C-alpha cells in the first residue's frame, strides 16, 4: 500500500516535471559553448536574442498542404516544423487578449510586495486594469516590464538595446564608459540608463522614469523614484538576464523578476507593426487582458 | 475505486492544475463569446497587419444580394511570423472565397469576431485558436 502510494507520487512528480520542461524556456538552452569576447576583453553581447518565454511554448504546426495550426492544434506527430525552423523570431511574444498570450505563470505569481497602505491602490488598478493599464493603450511598456532586449549592439563605450515589442520598436542607449546619468532629461517610459561591468556581468542602472507604467501586470504601479538594476551575463550562446526593481517608498523589499535565459538566434528584427487598440471598448465584464513579456 | 485509477486521477488532476496555470488569463474570452461560433463564407476585402491584433475584413454576400463586411480579429503580428505566416499568405489569392470559423463579439457588436480558423479555396487552412481544438 505504502509502496503504491510512493510510486504514485513519483509518477506524478515525474509527469509534472516533464510537462514543466516542455513549457520552460530555461530548459530549452543549447549546450554550453565558449563565451566570445570583444577586443576590449568584455564578453560579446552583440546579437539578436530569443527570450523563449511567454508564448514560446506554443508550437505552430505546418502541414504538408500548407495549412498552419497556431493554436488549438492536435498532437504534432505528423506535423512539420514551421518555416524558419524551431527558432522563433525575437519578437514572437504574446499579444494581448489571446490564448497565445498565456502568461508565464511563475512571473505572474512573482508579484512585488507592497507596503500595506498601497495594497488598496494595487487592487483598484488591477480591478480596473482595462481602463488603467496604459500598456493596453499601445504606450511603451516601461522597464522592467518590457523584458530583456531582442537585439544588443555593443562597443567599448556603450551598449544599445533594441526591442521589437507588440507596442512598437523601442531602444535604450546605455553608456558603459563611466558617464553619469544625464541631467535635465524629462522623465520617460524607459528611463535613463548607465552600465558598468562587474567581472563578466554587465550591470545596468536605470532611473528617471515617469509614472505611466507598471512593473508587471495586475496593478503593480511604481513611483518616479523607481530604480531598476539589470544584470546580463553571457555564457556560450546564452545570456542570463535578471532585473530587480527598487522603489522603497512603495515596496517592502526590492522586487526581482524571474530570471530569463536568452538564446542567440539568426532571426533578424523587423520593424514593429503599428499598434492601435480597438479591443478595450468591447470588454464588458472586466476580464483581464494580460501582457506577458 | 481501484488504486491504479486513483493514481491516474491524481496525475491527471495535477496536470490539469498545472495546465490551468499556464493557460490562465485566456482573454479571448474577455472580448469574444467562446461558447459560440459561426461560419462565414466570403472574400477578404482588406487586411490590417497591425498590433496588438491583426484585423481581417471579410465581405460576405447575404441572401438578399447585399454585402456585409465583417471585421475579424486575430493574433499579433509577431506570433503570425513565428508560425511562418505573412500578410500575403493570410490574404490569399485576391477575390478567392474563404470559409471562416468565427467566435462572435461578447458585447453583441455586430459583424465583429475572432478568427478561429480560416480555410482557403484550395483547402489549406490556418487555425488560430479561440474555439477549442481544430476540427
DSSP letter at B82 equals: H
User: Quick count: other Cβ atoms within 10 Å of Cβ A203?
Assistant: 16
- Between strands B67-73 and B112-119, the pairing is parallel
Give the mean model confidence (pLDDT) for residues A256-274. 91
According to the per-residue pLDDT averaged within each range, which of A10-24, A63-77, B49-63 is highest? B49-63
Beta strands in B21-130 (DSSP E): 38-48, 55-61, 67-73, 97-104, 112-119, 125-128
**pLDDT of A109:** 73
CB contact under 8 A, A285 and B126: no
pLDDT above 90 covers a percentage of chain A that reads 58
Instruction: Count other Cβ atoms within 10 Å, centred on residue A213.
Output: 25
Cβ atoms of A51 and A260 within 8 Å: the answer is yes
Q: Hey, is B14 helix, strand or coil?
A: helix
Residue A144 cell numbers, joined: 522592467
Q: Closest Cα to residue A220, out of A287, A151, A93, A134?
A: A134
| Cα gap B113→A117, rounded to integer Å | 42
pTM as predicted: 0.76
Greater model confidence, A159 or A72: A159
Question: pLDDT at position B81, please?
Answer: 85
Instruction: Taking residues A203-221, report their average pLDDT.
Output: 96
Quick check: A270 and B81 CB within 8 A?
yes
Q: How far apart are CA A279 and CA B74, in angstroms?
A: 11
- What would the grid cell of residue B11 be? 496525475
Residue A241 has pLDDT above 90, yes or no: yes
Longest dimension (CA), chain A: 72
Distance from CA of A154 to the nearest CA of B (A): 25
Q: Give the model's pLDDT for residue A270.
A: 86
Average pLDDT of span B34-56: 95
Look up residue B88 and give its three cell numbers: 500575403
Q: Which residue of B has its CA nearest to A136?
A: B52
pLDDT bracket for residue A290 (50, 70, 90): low
**Mean pLDDT within A64-84:** 66
Ranges A19-28, A81-90, B7-16, B55-64, most confident: B55-64
Cα separation of A99 and A60, whole Å?
13
3-state DSSP call for residue B80? helix
Rg of chain A taking only CA atoms, in angstroms: 21
- At A31 the pLDDT is 62
pLDDT at A293: 58
Residue spans of alpha helices (H) in chain A = 2-23, 105-109, 119-127, 129-132
Within a 13 Å sphere around the CA of B46, how many CA atoms are in the beta-carbon half?
7
Tens of pLDDT, residues B13-38? 444 333 333 333 346 777 888 889 99
Nearest to B78 among A68, A92, A105 (CB): A92
The proportion of chain A whose per-residue pLDDT surpasses 70, expressed as a percent, equals 72
Average pLDDT score over residue span A124-146: 92
**Neighbour count for residue A196 (Cβ, 10 Å):** 14
User: Which member of A72, A108, A276 has the closest CB to residue B127?
Assistant: A72
Helix B3-22 and helix A2-23, axial crossing angle in degrees, nearest 10:
20
Question: Residue A172's pLDDT is what?
Answer: 98
How many C-beta atoms lie closer than 10 Å to residue B99's C-beta?
Answer: 16
Average pLDDT over residues A44-59: 74
Q: How far apart are CA A22 and CA A43, in angstroms?
A: 30
pLDDT of residue B134: 59
pLDDT digits (tens, 9 = 90+) for B74-120: 998 888 888 889 999 999 999 999 999 999 998 889 999 999 999 99
Q: Is the pLDDT reported for residue B67 higher than 90?
A: yes
Residue A207 reports pLDDT greater than 60: yes
Search chain A and give the residue with CA nearest B127: A69
Contacts of A174 (CB under 8 A, 6+ apart): A158, A159, A160, A161, A193, A194, A195, A204
**What is the Cα gyration radius of chain B?**
18
pLDDT at site A87: 39
Residues of A in contact with B131 (CB under 8 A): 72
What average pLDDT does this structure show over A7-30?
48
Query: What is the rounded average pLDDT of the residues A119-123?
Result: 97
The per-residue pLDDT for B5 is: 44
> What is the pLDDT at residue A282?
83
The pLDDT tens digits for A273-285 are 999 988 887 887 7
What average pLDDT does this structure show over A86-104? 38
Nearest CA-CA distance, residue B42 and chain A, Å = 19
Query: Residue B49 has what pLDDT?
Result: 96
* Min Cα–Cα distance to chain B from A223, Å: 27
Amino acid at each position: 500500500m505504502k509502496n503504491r502510494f510512493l510510486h504514485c507520487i513519483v509518477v506524478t512528480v515525474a509527469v509534472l516535471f516533464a510537462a514543466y520542461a516542455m513549457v520552460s524556456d530555461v530548459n530549452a538552452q543549447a549546450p554550453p559553448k565558449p563565451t566570445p569576447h570583444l577586443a576590449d576583453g568584455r564578453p560579446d553581447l552583440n546579437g539578436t536574442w530569443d527570450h523563449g518565454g511567454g508564448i514560446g511554448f506554443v508550437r505552430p504546426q505546418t502541414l504538408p498542404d500548407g495549412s498552419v495550426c497556431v493554436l488549438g492544434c492536435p498532437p504534432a506527430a505528423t506535423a512539420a516544423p514551421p518555416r524558419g525552423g524551431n527558432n522563433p523570431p525575437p519578437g514572437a511574444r504574446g499579444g494581448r487578449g489571446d490564448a497565445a498570450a498565456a502568461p508565464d505563470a511563475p512571473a505572474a505569481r512573482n508579484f512585488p510586495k507592497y507596503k500595506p497602505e498601497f495594497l488598496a491602490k494595487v487592487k483598484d488598478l488591477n480591478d480596473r486594469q482595462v481602463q488603467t493599464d496604459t500598456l493596453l493603450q499601445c504606450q511603451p511598456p516601461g522597464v522592467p516590464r518590457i523584458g530583456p532586449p531582442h537585439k544588443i549592439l555593443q562597443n567599448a563605450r556603450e551598449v544599445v538595446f533594441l526591442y521589437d515589442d507588440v507596442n512598437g520598436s523601442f531602444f535604450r542607449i546605455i553608456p558603459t564608459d563611466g558617464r553619469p546619468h544625464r541631467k535635465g532629461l524629462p522623465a520617460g517610459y524607459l528611463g535613463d540608463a548607465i552600465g558598468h561591468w562587474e567581472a563578466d556581468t554587465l550591470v545596468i542602472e536605470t532611473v528617471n522614469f515617469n509614472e505611466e507604467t507598471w512593473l508587471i501586470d495586475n496593478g503593480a504601479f511604481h513611483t518616479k523614484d523607481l530604480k531598476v538594476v539589470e544584470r546580463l551575463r553571457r555564457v556560450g550562446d546564452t545570456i542570463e538576464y535578471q532585473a530587480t526593481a527598487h522603489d522603497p517608498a512603495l515596496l517592502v523589499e526590492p522586487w526581482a523578476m524571474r530570471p530569463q535565459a536568452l538564446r542567440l538566434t539568426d532571426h533578424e528584427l523587423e520593424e514593429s507593426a503599428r499598434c492601435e487598440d480597438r479591443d478595450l471598448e468591447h470588454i464588458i465584464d472586466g476580464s483581464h487582458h494580460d501582457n506577458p513579456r | 475505486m481501484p488504486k491504479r485509477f486513483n493514481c491516474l486521477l491524481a496525475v491527471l488532476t495535477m496536470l490539469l492544475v498545472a495546465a490551468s496555470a499556464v493557460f490562465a488569463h485566456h482573454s479571448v474570452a474577455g472580448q469574444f463569446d467562446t461558447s459560440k461560433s459561426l461560419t462565414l463564407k466570403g472574400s477578404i476585402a482588406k487586411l490590417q497587419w497591425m498590433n496588438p491584433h491583426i484585423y481581417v475584413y471579410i465581405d460576405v454576400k447575404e441572401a438578399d444580394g447585399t454585402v456585409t463586411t465583417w471585421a475579424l480579429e486575430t493574433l499579433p503580428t509577431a506570433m503570425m511570423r513565428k508560425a511562418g505566416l505573412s500578410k500575403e499568405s493570410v490574404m490569399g489569392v485576391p477575390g478567392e472565397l474563404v470559409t471562416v470559423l468565427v467566435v462572435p463579439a461578447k458585447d453583441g457588436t455586430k459583424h465583429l469576431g475572432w478568427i478561429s480558423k480560416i480555410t482557403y479555396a484550395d483547402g489549406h487552412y490556418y487555425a488560430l485558436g479561440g474555439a477549442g481544438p481544430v476540427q
